Each structure stands twice: as structure tokens, then as C-alpha cells.
């Protein structure tokens, strides 16, 4: 725990208000997504299906058909990100896919936002007003974005690159609280979040992933790993593998479908 005064002195890119509470957590890291994806695909080897596939559940397994082959699996894991609700329409009512704008901002004081000098940060300015960002670890500018949910879209509706209007609240937050990073936008992108709706049988406000067995089938379903879920992939993959291979294993209750009445 730090005061804002101490945090501003330790990390001079910030100008946090005096009445803010600040928490600094050691041990954070940045995953280089391209490297991570190559590693995970190499671990999977020839078990990757690099083409469109469809599936048909049976009482004793799952048929999987691609353009070139059809094979039978005792169990199948569906970790389809924003397309999960399309594959299982019953589940679609519990999922909202949102468009999330991301921007890279030219720092006004590059020395204060360099990797090793400046932390990954999350600014919590109140309900539905959260901005996160990274140091300039690629010499591309400070990456920053709203963590608030953007507009609900279809899984294929990426739309145009992030607009000025979508990124204006981020620029305003940087100007007010991280002036060392608050330059013009120099690059932009869009990602999708797959969000769950609030549960009615557990005290949650939504946002938790679904990691569970699909009722009356040999399917395991996972709503994670679109957008911000990718960093959790190894831990989630471990749970999914256990669900597929260990009949006694259950994921944590806050991941289970039974938190919704229709699946209780």
C-alpha cells in the first residue's frame, strides 16, 4: 500500500490525486502473445486441426468432421471464444460478446514510461470506468484501453479499428492521471471479450468464465480465452484436461454451469 504522493514520486509518469489509495504488486509480467501462441501450438503438435470443423455429440462420444476427415473422440472440449454461443445456442443466452477498443499513445515523457521504469497499471475511477495500460515495451507507445464492456456485437463483427470516440475516455484518463503517457494516438486495434451474465444461484455479478461439462453429453465447454482470457490459458487448459480425463474432478463452483438455474 502506498499513498498517491509516494507513488507519484516513485513512478513520475503518474499524477494521482492525493486522496487515492495505491497498491503496488510485485511479480507482474507481460506475455508476448506471438511467442506464447507459437509455443502452445508447438506443444500441441499434430493434434491441431488447422481447418473448419463441426461436431456431433453421441451418447458415447463426439464425432468431429473436417473438410478432409472425420474421426470419433471419447470427449471433446469446446473452447471457442466468442463463437461458443453459436455452437451451443442454449448457452448463447448467458454470453455477451463485446467490442473492446485498444490504443497506443505517444508518451510525452518517454523516459518515465520505459519498460523497467513504469509499471503495468489499472486505474479504477468508479463503476464502469476502469482503464488499464502497459509500459512502452515495444517502442510502439503506451498501450492503454478501457476494461469496461464495449457494445455487444456478433462474434464475426470486429468492425473498423478503434475510433477516436472509443479511445477518447482513455486519452482523458491518461491526461488526468498519467500525463507522462498522454500523447496522441499512434496505433489502434480491437479485441473481443466474451462475458457471462450475472448468475442467479451464486452471488456473482457476471464476468466469471464457464468451465464445465455440458449436460447429458461428452462435451466440455469453456467460455474463456477471447481477448483478456488468453493469459489464463495454461491454468484453464489444466482444468479442461482434468474435466476430460478425471470423472471425479469438478472445476470451482464459480466456473460451473449450475450457478445458473436453468442448469442447476
Query: Where residue 9 falls among pLDDT bands split at 50, 70, 90?
Result: very high
User: What's the pTM value of the predicted model, to 2 decimals?
Assistant: 0.88
Residue 222 has pLDDT above 90, yes or no: yes
Range of weakest confidence among 20-24, 39-43, 131-135, 184-188: 39-43
Residue 100 has pLDDT above 90, yes or no: yes
CB-based contacts of 78: which residues, under 8 Å, 6+ apart?
A: 55, 84, 87, 88, 214, 219, 220, 221, 222
Per-residue cell: 97: 460478446
What is the structure's pLDDT at 137? 95
Per-residue pLDDT reduced to its tens digit, 105-149? 999 999 999 999 999 999 998 888 899 999 999 999 999 999 888
Query: Where residue 154 falls among pLDDT bands split at 50, 70, 90?
Result: very high
* Spatial separation of the C-alpha atoms in residues 228 and 188, rounded to whole Å: 16
Asked if residues 194 and 81 have their Cβ atoms less than 8 Å apart, the reply is yes
Per-residue pLDDT reduced to its tens digit, 34-89? 898 899 889 888 877 778 889 999 999 999 999 989 999 999 999 998 999 999 99
What is the structure's pLDDT at 245? 96
* Winning range, highest mean pLDDT, from 28-32, 183-187, 230-234: 183-187
Q: Can you tell me the mean pLDDT for 201-209?
A: 86
Give me the chain's average pLDDT, please.
92
Q: Which domains does the chain have, with CATH numbers?
A: 2-30+105-150+157-188 (3.30.9.10), 33-94+198-263 (3.50.50.60)
| Burial class (CB within 10 angstroms; exposed 0-12, middle 13-18, buried 19+) of 242 | middle
CB-based contacts of 260: which residues, under 8 Å, 6+ apart?
A: 94, 199, 200, 201
**Strand partners of residue 115:** 118
What is the structure's pLDDT at 207? 80
Query: Where residue 228 falls among pLDDT bands split at 50, 70, 90?
Result: low
Residue 13 has pLDDT above 80, yes or no: yes
Residue 157 has pLDDT above 90, yes or no: no
What is the structure's pLDDT at 159? 86
What is the structure's pLDDT at 18? 95
Amino acid at each position: 500500500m502506498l499513498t498517491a504522493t509516494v507513488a507519484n514520486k516513485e513512478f513520475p509518469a503518474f499524477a494521482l490525486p492525493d486522496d487515492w489509495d495505491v497498491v503496488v504488486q510485485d511479480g507482474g509480467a507481460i506475455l508476448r502473445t506471438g511467442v506464447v501462441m507459437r509455443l502452445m501450438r508447438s506443444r500441441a503438435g499434430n493434434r491441431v486441426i488447422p481447418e473448419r470443423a463441426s461436431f456431433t455429440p453421441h451418447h458415447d462420444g463426439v464425432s468431429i468432421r473436417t473438410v478432409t476427415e472425420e474421426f470419433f473422440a471419447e470427449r471433446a472440449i469446446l473452447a471457442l471464444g466468442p463463437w461458443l454461443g453459436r455452437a451451443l445456442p442454449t448457452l448463447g443466452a448467458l454470453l455477451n460478446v463485446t467490442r473492446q477498443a485498444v490504443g497506443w499513445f505517444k508518451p510525452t515523457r518517454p523516459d518515465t514510461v520505459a519498460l523497467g521504469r513504469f509499471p503495468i497499471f489499472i486505474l479504477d475511477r468508479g463503476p464502469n470506468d476502469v482503464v488499464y495500460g502497459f509500459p512502452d515495451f515495444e517502442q510502439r507507445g503506451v498501450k492503454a484501453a478501457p476494461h469496461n464492456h464495449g457494445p455487444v456485437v456478433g462474434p464475426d463483427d470486429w468492425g473498423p479499428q478503434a475510433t477516436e470516440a472509443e479511445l477518447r475516455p482513455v486519452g482523458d484518463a491518461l491526461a488526468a492521471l498519467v500525463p507522462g503517457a498522454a500523447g496522441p494516438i499512434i496505433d489502434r486495434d480491437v479485441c473481443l471479450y466474451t462475458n457471462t451474465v450475472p448468475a442467479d444461484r451464486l452471488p456473482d455479478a457476471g464476468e466469471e468464465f464457464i468451465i464445465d461439462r455440458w449436460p447429458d453429453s461428452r462435451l466440455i465447454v469453456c467460455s474463456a480465452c477471447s481477448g483478456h482470457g488468453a493469459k489464463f490459458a495454461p491454468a484453464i487448459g489444466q482444468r479442461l484436461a482434468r474435466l476430460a480425463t478425471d470423472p471425479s474432478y469438478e472445476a470451482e463452483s464459480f466456473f460451473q454451469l449450475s450457478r445458473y438455474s436453468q442448469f442447476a
